[in-house]
Amino acid sequence: MKRLYRIITFPMLIFVFTVLFSSCEYVGIGIEIGNGTNNYRESTYYLCSRAWVEEWTDNNGDYHYQELRFYDNNSGEDYVLTIDRHGFRQEFSYTFIWDWYDANYTSLRLKYGANDYSYMNNIFMGNNRLECLLDGYPAYFYGN
C-alpha cells in the first residue's frame, strides 16, 4: 500500500509544481494581469509613463494647452488651459476613467461621467509622441 501511495504522490507533486510555476503570466494563484499579453502591458506602461501635452493656437489667435495623465488603475486627469487673444484665461480640470477600446490597443475610451465619453482612435505611440484622432480631430501629444 505504501508503494502505491508513493507511485501516486510523486506524479501528483510534479503536476502541482508544473501548474504553479509554469508561467510568469500569472500572479499568486492564477490571477491574470490585464489580458495576459505583452502588448497590453507594454501599451499600458507607455501610456501611463508620462503626462501627454498638446499645445496649439486656433484661427482666432486663442492659445490652447491640454495635458492628459493616465494611471495604471484606469483613472486619469485632463487639464485644459485656454488664453484668448485678449488675455482672458480659462482653466478646467476633469477626471476620467479609461479603457482600451480595441484588441490592438490603438483606441481608448475616456469616460468623464454618465454618458459623457471621448474617444482616442488610430493611436500611434512612440518616440515620446502620442498621435491619434481625439473625438475625430487629429491630436499630437508629446510626453512631458
What does the pLDDT look like over 62-78, one tens digit per residue? Answer: 999 999 999 999 999 99
Structure confidence at residue 3 (pLDDT):
60
Distance CA 108, CA 137 (A): 14
Separation of alpha carbons 4 and 7, rounded Å: 5
Name residue 113's beta-bridge partners: 116
Band of pLDDT at residue 94, cut at 50, 70 and 90: very high
Q: How many Cβ atoms sit within 10 Å of the Cβ of residue 101?
A: 17
Higher pLDDT, 38 or 75: 75
What confidence score (pLDDT) does residue 38 get? Answer: 75
Distance CA 23, CA 92 (A): 45
In the prediction, which pLDDT does 34 show? 46
Q: Report the alpha-carbon distance of residue 56 to residue 14 in Å, rounded.
A: 62
pLDDT in the model for residue 6: 56
Taking the C-alpha atoms of residue 54 and residue 121, their distance in angstroms, rounded to an integer, is 16
Are 24 and 41 a contacting pair, CB within 8 Å? no
Average pLDDT over every residue of 16-31: 41
DSSP element (H, E) containing 70 = strand 63-70
CA distance 62 to 24: 51
| Sequence-separated (6 or more) residues with CB below 8 Å from residue 144 | 50, 51, 52, 53, 67
SS3 for 78?
Answer: strand
